[in-house]
Homo-oligomer: A and B are copies of this chain.
Amino acid sequence: MTIYDIAKKAGVSASTVSRVINNKPGVREETKKRIQQLLIKYNYSPNEAARGLVTQASKIIGILVDDIRTIHHTDGAYIIERELVKLGYCCIIFNTGTDEASKAKYINILKRRRVEGAVLIGSSFQVKAVEQAIKKYLNDTPVVMANGYLDLPNVYGILADEQNGVANCVKLLYDKGHRRPAFVIDLHTPSNLAKKAGYEQAVQSLGLGDILVYETNRTLQGGYNVTKKIMQEHPEVDGIIYAVDLLAAAGTRALLDMGISIPKQVAVIGIDNSIYAEICNPKLTSLDNKLLNLSMTAAHTLISALAGGQPNKKILIFSSIEERETT
């Protein structure tokens, strides 16, 4: 059922039908009524692709998510979607994985779909390949990075202040008498490297001795094993900060299984203050990077840019520590 079919049935031209559909003036009330009834009768729905072709407005926003195992990234995508749908946009969502080349490929797909804006969720987009792809394909399309930044005229960055956040975690441990903190990292994303830098900075400025950074993969088993390893190699450790709550959750279990009391002997801090932190028993103290806030800010930055506004190029979201039972 096209606009022409309706026009024929109504005995008018397509232009008139178009006017009615878009509620434009210049149609006699009587014909308008007649056309509206036909539109309903035949379940007419405009073809947005055709409409977008002539209006040069796809009304599509592209959302790329780097890692779907990261619960707040996927949650963030849904939050952003919800805000944009309110304005009549629709969102195409892709999970790109962490590989650079495939990210560039997805940015090209966004171009082919002629998206009006894009949101890149995850710090791993902060790489050369993405920068080049944006320059090449999304040159005059607003791009908002949720927890990342690239220095391009059309890119807006919303960043969590992770370095200071983690430094504050070390200070919290220090204030509670824990002088030998370790840090567990999984992926080497810019975000995680910032966290690590915060840990190192605080350890040095407080004079807490050697840096103790351990690596593992982002699984419960990984978090469990690395924790046992830490305690075996460095029994003097009395606090562990994990790059994500998931690992911290596994870590607390490892500590309990080793008969170590939390937080008395070893304190634990997770990062993200996700639902995991609350489900855990004992409940995790966690660095709250305000990721919900970050996603909302990303959405509204994009909305502002789409409306032709001049949003801030770079916004820093401050963190706080949600203390629970592991410190």
Q: Which residues of A contact B (CB under 8 A)?
A: 43, 45-50, 52-53, 58, 60, 65, 68, 71, 74-75, 77-78, 81-82, 85, 90-95, 108-109, 111-114, 136-137, 220, 246, 249-250, 252-253, 256, 275-276, 278-282
Q: Are A50 and B48 in contact (CB under 8 A)?
A: no
Closest residue on chain B to residue A50 by CB atoms: B53
Task: Pick the residue among B52, B75, B90 that contacts A92 (CB under 8 A).
Answer: B90
Task: Pick the residue among B47, B75, B94 that contacts A85 (CB under 8 A).
Answer: B94
Known contacts A46-B112, A114-B48: does B91 contact A93 (CB below 8 Å)?
Answer: yes
Task: Pick the residue among B52, B58, B75, B94 that contacts A81 (CB under 8 A).
Answer: B94
Task: Pick the residue among B71, B78, B112 that contacts A95 (CB under 8 A).
Answer: B78
Cα of A65 to Cα of B85 in the assembled complex, Å: 14
Q: Rank and list the top 8 A-B pairs by shortest CB-CB distance, nearest first.
A: A49-B49, A281-B281, A249-B279, A68-B78, A45-B111, A45-B112, A48-B112, A90-B92
Sampled A-B contacts (14; CB under 8 Å): A43-B136, A49-B53, A49-B113, A49-B114, A74-B78, A85-B94, A91-B93, A92-B93, A220-B275, A220-B278, A246-B279, A280-B281, A281-B281, A281-B282
Q: Are B93 and A137 in contact (CB under 8 A)?
A: no
Closest residue on chain B to residue A85 by CB atoms: B94
Closest residue on chain B to residue A68 by CB atoms: B78
Residues of B within 8 A of A90 (CB): 92, 94, 109, 113
Q: Are B114 and A43 in contact (CB under 8 A)?
A: no
Closest residue on chain B to residue A139 by CB atoms: B43
Residues of B within 8 A of A77 (CB): 93
Cα of A74 to Cα of B53 in the assembled complex, Å: 31
Known contacts A49-B53, A71-B71, A75-B74: does B91 contact A92 (CB below 8 Å)?
Answer: yes
Residues of B within 8 A of A68 (CB): 75, 78
